[in-house]
Amino acid sequence: MKPLALIIVALTTMWDEFLHLLAYRSAANPMPDNVKDVYDAERYRKWQSYNRDKTRLNMLSTGVSGVLMFVLLLINAHAAVVPAGWNIYGQLIIVLLFQQLLETVVGVCFAWVNTMRIEAKYGFNRTTAATFARDQIINFVIEFVLTAGLMCAFAALHRALGDWIAVLFAGVLFLLGLAISFLYPVISRIRNKFTPLEEGELRTRLTDLMAKHGYRVRAIQVMDASRRTTKSNAYFTGFGRMKTIVLYDNLLNVMTTEEICAIFAHEMGHGLHKDTLKMQFLNLLRMALMAMCLWLTVRTDAPFAAFGFAGVNYGFALLFAGAVELSVLNPLLELITNAFSRRQEYRADRQAVQEGYGDALVSGLKKLYREDLGCLAPSRLTVLLTYSHPTLSERISAIQGK
């Protein structure tokens, strides 16, 4: 069992490196005609260098994480950190803490280089060291509390229910996923300030657009994204009556009213087609698979004995299920989810076109790519395997009906 697990970790790391390499080589691809005007010569050179810096860092980060995981498994490091005599909950918490601490140390180093060196070099970064540190600590605490809590629940349920755990836990994970999307507005409030969009032409036009479709949201809010980055975005959050649309303040600063309306109409298209909810169901599939992998792992002592444990360790089970079992299925899951998501994006673009914002959407998107140094000519394979959105060129062709 151990050699197989090590081979899988090595292969999935190589697969990820292959994807980064594809992205790296995209820089040399010729520009499609309909996006040739996005970058001038100088901006284009800047993009090439940005793409190179980013993908190089990604390759290094994937390599380091992969090697780390490989070595930890090879030397049975997780079993070595468990003190003798602790109960199963203490044992699972210590394994998770050990793993997450190591991952965080590596992750924070790379995130630091990404934010403070690369993003800063190209003028995107506005995060201060204090905000960066605060973000990392909040993320660490939330992630640790969630995973440790979940695995304690899993361990308790597994001991009480036996094999039924697989079905039940898939349900628990799904509900938790839903709860997180409900709580997301609350969580993001810890990190950012939100203010209602002020009265004026823009607000009136957005409200009219929604009224036309009988679409209701609780609020239209502006987020102070400029505290961290110069990049722009807009998204819906929450479900049902709690739905809120969030516009990055950067968006308001660089786009015309017409372009913001177009992007808003696109987001509303997602809302009208209940795209987020549909994605949640794809997530359910993912959760069910995760629960299944966990269940398969804890059914016997074999996977634990192979890595030096005396019996079942629920913390290690999570690592094993995620890094070994599920990682084999991940490329396939990504393929399906991304294909589904790209279809949703085309449909949301069509919504903007129907509202008469086709041209504004094209100019808005071009601006977004220009400002954010987006990739304009990724290879087909990269898009197929990793892109949740169609390329800019594909979107423009679809919007213009060509």
Residues that bind Zn ion (CB under 5 A): 345, 348
- For Zn ion, the closer of residues 192 and 276 by Cβ is 276
- For Zn ion, the closer of residues 73 and 210 by Cβ is 210
State the nearest-atom distance from the C-beta of 225 to Zn ion, in Å.
17
- For Zn ion, the closer of residues 345 and 372 by Cβ is 345
State the nearest-atom distance from the C-beta of 234 to Zn ion, in Å.
9
State the nearest-atom distance from the C-beta of 266 to Zn ion, in Å.
6
Sign of CA pseudo-dihedral 46, 49, 52, 55: negative
State the nearest-atom distance from the C-beta of 358 to Zn ion, in Å.
15
- 244-248 and 219-223: which strand pairing? parallel
State the nearest-atom distance from the C-beta of 348 to Zn ion, in Å.
5
Alpha-carbon gap, residue 358 to 356, rounded angstroms: 6
- For Zn ion, the closer of residues 170 and 348 by Cβ is 348
- For Zn ion, the closer of residues 119 and 345 by Cβ is 345
State the nearest-atom distance from the C-beta of 238 to Zn ion, in Å.
17
- For Zn ion, the closer of residues 5 and 353 by Cβ is 353
State the nearest-atom distance from the C-beta of 212 to Zn ion, in Å.
20
Neighbours of 391 (CB within 10 A): 21
Count the alpha carbons within 13 Å of 65 in the hemisphere toward its beta carbon: 23
- For Zn ion, the closer of residues 22 and 365 by Cβ is 365
